[in-house]
């Protein structure tokens, strides 16, 4: 096993410490703006403009999986990951950025601030409750992301994983609980800048110090020629499964939170389009980095993540190495913090306040949300034990589950005129049960990924039930409204 701790210098520690302290200071400075109401805490009073939306959106869409996970994919799968994930991710998310985002911001009423709220608006309270509970369960994905931080800090600095998890968890809890989305917006912007600068420096370093792309292609081709094949020996169903996981962002609650926080739909359209152009470039850099790691360190590293960090440490000087590790921490912290903010809103505002104690004041709700952020932080740290074998498939499975369960109810809810509460409820319940059955009990029969089968059959269930339960009285009412 390679020993990175000898290459980790004081300048790197200073960069990491400055980063953590800086993020905390932003949280403290933004606390006044955030504490006014649920709307100010959760959607930053709906005041975000283009540069901040780009930062918060990119930090949410491009997380630590994009750095470590995509690099691992570059190492293990080669250029096929560009065909099945990197490019589809950019192109398939364009309608979300240019049509759905502006629609959500401009056409949905002001009281709808979370995805469960949206489910209530489209369907009813039962669907809202199930959505809130399911989104909270997505905490497991955040555990995978936090695990990535702890693993890297242990690998490069020698710090114990428990200490790394405790410190990073505590910092995220503090700045999220203090400043809500106001703080997250600014920290995400800083984190986004750190991520892209680190990726850019890595690419230039690969060319300057390792002979660049021709060398990578030669060595990877010699190691395993399939890695340079456009299809990479991948089956059609697996490829579709990857593409669908790229579409899971359509069901990502944090994504709708960002839409809700924007000043207007026009801001969303511009900011998200710019962010997608930047994002596809960032993702591509990470795939190339993974392939470079295989080419130059494939014979000395025990696993892809070790090879990736060997590449980073061989290319970047001291100080910049600290910045790259800070970039990974930034990627994780921005995603995790927005998720914890979201989960706390689901738990306190969508479940407790809506179903158990409607008399709660705004101030009590915000206080409860701050407390809930801490609780989810602790649960998330505990959940890291599930990811000891690596996080490469985390988004494939959890993204696939989110897509299978919510894609149809959300998109059809936005645009389908004959939607009914029964249709939404039956589709969500069917999809959750069928996903578990197809993935874990039947083991993907015929090689068809659960996300593909469940979302397709779930769509059939949704439209059949909607059409069976949509009555003419409702039709006349809708027609009257249109007139």
**Binding positions for other proteins, rule: CB under 8 A:** 32-33, 36, 45, 47, 49-52, 54-55, 79, 82-83, 86-87, 90-91, 94, 98, 186, 189-190, 192-197, 199-204, 206-207, 212-218, 228, 230, 266-267, 269-270, 273-274, 276-278, 280-282, 284-285, 288
> Can you tell me the distance from the alpha carbon of 350 to that of 113, in angstroms, rounded to the nearest whole number?
10
Question: If DSSP codes are grouped into helix, strand and coil, which group holds residue 262?
Answer: strand
| Cβ proximity to other proteins, 194 vs 255, nearer residue | 194
Instruction: Give the closest residue to 88 by CA, choosing from 255, 247, 291.
Output: 247
- Report the C-alpha dihedral over residues 193, 248, 398, 84, rounded to 10 degrees: -80
**Smaller CB separation from other proteins, 189 or 404:** 189
Report the C-alpha gap between 190 and 188 in whole angstroms: 5
Phi (first) and psi of residue 110, to 5 degrees = -65, -30
Q: Is 136 helix (H, G, I), strand (E, B) or coil?
A: helix
The phi and psi torsions of 419 (rounded to 5 degrees) equal: -70, 145
CB of 231 to other proteins, least distance (A): 10
In angstroms, rounded to a whole number, what is the distance separating the alpha carbons of residues 454 and 325?
38
Q: Given the complex with other proteins, which of 275 and 410 has the nearer CB atom?
A: 275
Minimum separation from the CB atom of position 307 to other proteins (A): 18
Question: How far apart are CB 94 and other proteins at their closest, in Å?
Answer: 6
Q: To the nearest whole angstrom, how small is the minimum distance from the Cβ of residue 214 to other proteins?
A: 5
The smaller minimum CB distance to other proteins, of residues 54 and 108, is found at: 54
**Minimal distance in Å, beta carbon 46 to other proteins?**
11
CB 54 within 8 A of CB 97: no
> Do the Cβ atoms of 38 and 353 come closer than 8 Å?
no
Nearest distance from C-beta of residue 35 to other proteins, angstroms: 8
- Cβ of residue 436: shortest distance to other proteins, in angstroms? 35
Judged by beta carbon, residue 132 or residue 326, the one nearer other proteins is 326
The DSSP bridge partners found for residue 262 are 48
- Report the C-alpha gap between 45 and 314 in whole angstroms: 45
Which DSSP symbol is given to 63? -
Tell me which residue has tokens 């962002």: 249
Q: Which residues contact 141 (CB under 8 A, 6 or more apart)?
A: 339, 394, 395, 398
CB of 191 to other proteins, least distance (A): 9
Pull the structure tokens for residue 381. Answer: 């740290």
d(CA 441, CA 434): 10
Q: Which is nearer to other proteins, 79 or 372 (CB)?
A: 79
């Amino acid at each position: 096993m390679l020993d990175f701790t000898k290459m980790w210098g004081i300048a790197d520690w200073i960069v990491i410490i400055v980063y953590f302290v800086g993020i905390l200071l932003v949280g403290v400075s933004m606390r006044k703006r955030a504490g006014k109401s649920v709307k100010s805490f959760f959607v930053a009073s709906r005041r975000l403009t283009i540069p901040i939306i780009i930062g918060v959106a990119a930090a949410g869409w491009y997380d630590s999986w994009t750095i470590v996970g995509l690099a691992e994919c570059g190492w293990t799968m080669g250029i096929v990951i560009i065909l099945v994930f990197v490019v589809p991710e950019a192109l398939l998310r364009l309608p979300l950025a240019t049509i759905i985002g502006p629609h959500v911001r401009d056409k949905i009423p002001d009281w709808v601030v979370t995805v469960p709220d949206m489910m209530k608006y489209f369907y009813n309270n039962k669907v809202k409750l199930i959505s809130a509970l399911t989104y909270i369960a997505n905490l497991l994905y955040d555990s995978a992301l936090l695990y990535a931080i702890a693993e890297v800090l242990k690998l490069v600095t020698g710090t114990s994983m428990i200490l790394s998890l405790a410190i990073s968890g505590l910092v995220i809890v503090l700045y999220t609980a203090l400043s809500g989305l106001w703080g997250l917006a600014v920290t995400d912007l800083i984190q986004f800048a750190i991520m892209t600068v680190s990726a850019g420096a890595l690419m230039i370093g690969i060319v300057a110090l390792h002979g660049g792309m021709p060398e990578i292609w030669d060595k990877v081709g010699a190691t395993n020629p399939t890695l340079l094949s456009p299809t990479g020996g991948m089956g059609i169903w697996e490829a579709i499964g990857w593409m669908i996981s790229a579409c899971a962002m359509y069901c990502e609650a944090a994504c709708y939170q960002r839409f809700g926080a924007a000043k207007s739909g026009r801001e969303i359209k511009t900011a998200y389009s710019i962010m997608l152009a930047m994002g596809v470039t960032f993702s591509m850099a990470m795939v190339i980095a993974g392939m470079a790691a295989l080419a130059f360190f494939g014979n000395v590293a025990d696993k892809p993540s070790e090879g990736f960090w060997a590449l980073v440490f061989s290319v970047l000087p001291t100080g910049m190495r600290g910045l790259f590790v800070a970039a990974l921490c930034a990627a994780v912290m921005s995603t995790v913090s927005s998720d914890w903010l979201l989960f706390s809103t689901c738990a306190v505002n969508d479940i407790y306040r809506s179903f158990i104690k409607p008399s709660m004041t705004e101030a009590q709700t915000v206080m409860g949300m701050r407390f809930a952020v801490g609780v989810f932080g602790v649960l998330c740290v505990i959940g890291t034990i599930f990811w000891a074998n690596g996080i490469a498939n985390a988004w494939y499975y959890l993204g696939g589950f989110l897509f299978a369960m919510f894609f149809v109810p959300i998109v059809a809810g936005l645009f389908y005129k004959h939607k009914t509460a029964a249709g939404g409820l039956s589709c969500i319940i069917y999809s959750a049960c069928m996903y578990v059955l197809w993935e874990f009990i039947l083991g993907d029969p015929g090689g068809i990924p659960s996300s593909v089968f469940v979302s397709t059959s779930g769509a059939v269930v949704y439209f059949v039930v909607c059409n069976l339960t949509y009555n003419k009285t409702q039709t006349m009412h809708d027609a009257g409204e249109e007139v």
